[in-house]
């Protein structure tokens, strides 16, 4: 039997939620261990579009929802971290775009009055024209209106790499997780046969939380999965674009982010309504055809004749909500020594960490002394779909 380890907080799941939390805890002097089964960030995190939302997308509904309020502060917190002056030092992380744009094709600008009046966007949205337009929209044929949102887009692989650096020696690649009980209480986990004792255990395993809860014999919280069918297009004619294109409905018609690939070409990653229910129902060929049609209608001057296409199916894992709606904030449930949650958005990873920290504070959990960790098998960093698909 391997030796027993002990730590203050044992985290299961090395996506953005677990890694951000781990870095925050270590910065506050807590001993931590983070267990990852596959690759760091390789679940949802590196499949995300990397937009650090400030809530503008949600304010498109017209009414200001809880989400718009809670998320409004996230761009500032991320910006400070990226500048090296925030709660974490993320100064080496690549910023893909300093702004995300809202683009209304043709005459659609119509009924945006309540949107511009909402708190999440008030004072944070400016119309841009001419050479201030994103490069992909700088064409005489472009007729729409474009607004600059004070939201960032981060390169998620470089974010995950930096968070892994901040994790120091606290990462452990391991697969099998069993509860470790003492006097009828959860005292830690048995990880690949090795006992790890901890003051608190945090499950931040994304969609893996459901199976972990089952193996720990814990019934709540329930999880919901919401599928997406994303499209990737890669080609020499693509210039960077980070924008929600408005349609008639409450969700953007299409959300485009652009990601650098190793050969210098850009990959456009397409989400929004295109990737939701109707897109999920399409097979890969039909989904690519739908995306091709959208782009040729919206951006007819872009030559896609030599572009390569691929799709990616991925599910968003979240706490169950009635009617499968999107939850409003990071979510955390506590059951004694066990804390379980989902950030619900990459942008809300700081909010997820805040919630864990306030539980520790409330329960008087302080950093304790622990023997030094032995050298542990370290999980690798996840690869993006555009690296593996083309």
List, edge to edge, every strand of the sheet that includes 51-52.
Answer: 51-52, 152-154, 95-97
Burial bucket for residue 193 (CB in 10 Å: 0-12, 13-18, 19+): exposed
Q: Contacts with ligand FAD in 263-292 (CB under 6 A)?
A: 271
Tokens of 2: 């391997």
Using CA atoms, how far apart are residues 374 and 42, in angstroms rounded to an integer?
25
13 touching ligand FAD, by CB under 6 A: yes
Phi and psi for 310 in degrees, rounded to 5? -155, 160
Cβ proximity to ligand FAD, 275 vs 295, nearer residue: 275
CB 58 within 8 A of CB 120: yes
> CA 23, CA 295: separation in Å to the nearest integer?
40
Minimal distance, residue 4 CB to ligand FAD, in Å: 19
Written as six digits, the tokens of 65 are 């929802």
Residue 252 near ligand FAD by CB under 6 A:
no
The nearer residue to ligand FAD, 226 or 367, going by C-beta atoms, is 226
Quick one: CA dihedral 356, 358, 362, 364, positive or negative? positive
Q: Does 47 bind ligand FAD (CB under 6 A)?
A: yes
The label of the residue with tokens 């596959």 reads 38
Q: What SS3 class is residue 178?
A: strand
Total of chain residues touching ligand FAD, rule CB under 6 A = 39
Calpha distance 332→221 (Å, rounded): 9
Cβ atoms of residues 87 and 80 within 8 Å: yes
| Binding residue (CB under 6 A) for ligand FAD from 6, 9, 18, 164 | 18
CB-nearer residue toward ligand FAD: 149 or 205? 205
> Can you tell me whether residue 187 is helix, strand or coil?
strand
Q: Is residue 345 at the binding interface for ligand FAD, with CB under 6 A as the rule?
A: yes
212 forms part of the interface with ligand FAD (CB under 6 A): yes
Query: Binding to ligand FAD (CB under 6 A): which residues in 347-366?
Result: 347
Choose the binding region for ligand FAD from 29-37, 124-132, 242-250, 365-373 (rule: CB under 6 A): 29-37
The residue range among 14-22, 59-67, 193-201, 237-245 that interacts with ligand FAD, by the rule CB under 6 A, is 14-22
Assess 208 for contact with ligand FAD (CB under 6 A): yes
Least Å from the CB of residue 50 to ligand FAD: 5
Task: By CB under 6 A, name the one of 327, 342, 351, 385 that touches ligand FAD.
Answer: 342
Q: Which of 316, 340, 350, 385 binds ligand FAD (CB under 6 A)?
A: 316
Of these, 33, 42, 64, 149, which contacts ligand FAD (CB under 6 A)?
42
Contact 279, 228 (CB under 8 A): yes
Query: Which residues, numbered 119-138, are part of the site for ligand FAD (CB under 6 A)?
Result: none
Interacting residue ranges for ligand FAD, rule: CB under 6 A = 12-18, 35-38, 41-45, 47-51, 53, 177, 204-206, 208, 212, 228, 230, 271, 314, 316, 342-347
């Amino acid at each position: 039997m391997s030796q027993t380890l002990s730590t203050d907080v044992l985290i299961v799941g090395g996506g953005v939620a677990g890694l951000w939390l781990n870095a925050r805890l270590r910065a506050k002097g807590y001993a931590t261990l983070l267990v990852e089964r596959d690759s760091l960030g390789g679940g949802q995190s590196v499949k995300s579009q990397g937009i650090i939302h400030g809530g503008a997308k949600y304010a498109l509904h017209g009414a200001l929802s809880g989400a718009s309020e809670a998320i409004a502060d996230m761009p500032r917190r991320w910006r400070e971290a990226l500048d090296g002056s925030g709660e974490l030092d993320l100064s080496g992380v690549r910023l893909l775009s300093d702004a995300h744009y809202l683009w209304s094709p043709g005459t659609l600008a119509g009924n945006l009055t309540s949107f511009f009046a909402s708190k999440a966007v008030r004072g944070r949205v400016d119309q841009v024209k001419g050479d201030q337009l994103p490069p992909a929209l700088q064409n005489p044929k472009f007729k729409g209106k474009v607004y600059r949102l004070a939201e960032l887009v981060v390169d998620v692989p470089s974010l995950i790499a930096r968070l892994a650096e901040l994790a120091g020696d606290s990462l452990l690649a391991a697969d099998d997780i069993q509860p470790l009980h003492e006097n009828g209480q959860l005292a830690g986990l048995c990880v690949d046969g090795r006992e790890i004792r901890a003051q608190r255990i945090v499950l931040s395993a994304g969609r893996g939380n459901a199976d972990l809860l089952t193996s720990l014999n814990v019934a709540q919280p329930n999880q919901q999965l919401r599928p997406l069918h994303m499209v990737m297009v890669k080609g020499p004619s693509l210039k960077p674009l980070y924008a929600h294109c408005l349609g008639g409905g409450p969700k953007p018609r299409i959300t485009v982010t652009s990601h650098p690939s190793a050969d210098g070409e850009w990959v456009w990653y397409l989400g929004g309504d295109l990737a939701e229910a109707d897109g999920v129902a399409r097979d890969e060929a039909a989904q690519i055809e739908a995306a091709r049609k959208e782009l040729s209608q919206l951006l007819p001057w872009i030559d896609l004749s030599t572009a390569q296409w691929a799709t990616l199916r991925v599910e968003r894992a979240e706490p169950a909500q009635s009617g499968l709606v999107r939850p409003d904030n990071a979510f955390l449930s506590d059951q004694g020594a066990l804390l379980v949650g989902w950030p619900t958005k990459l942008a809300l990873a700081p909010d997820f960490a805040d919630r864990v920290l306030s539980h520790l504070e409330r329960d008087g959990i302080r950093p304790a002394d622990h023997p030094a960790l032995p050298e542990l098998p370290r999980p690798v960093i996840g690869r993006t779909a555009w690296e593996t698909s083309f």
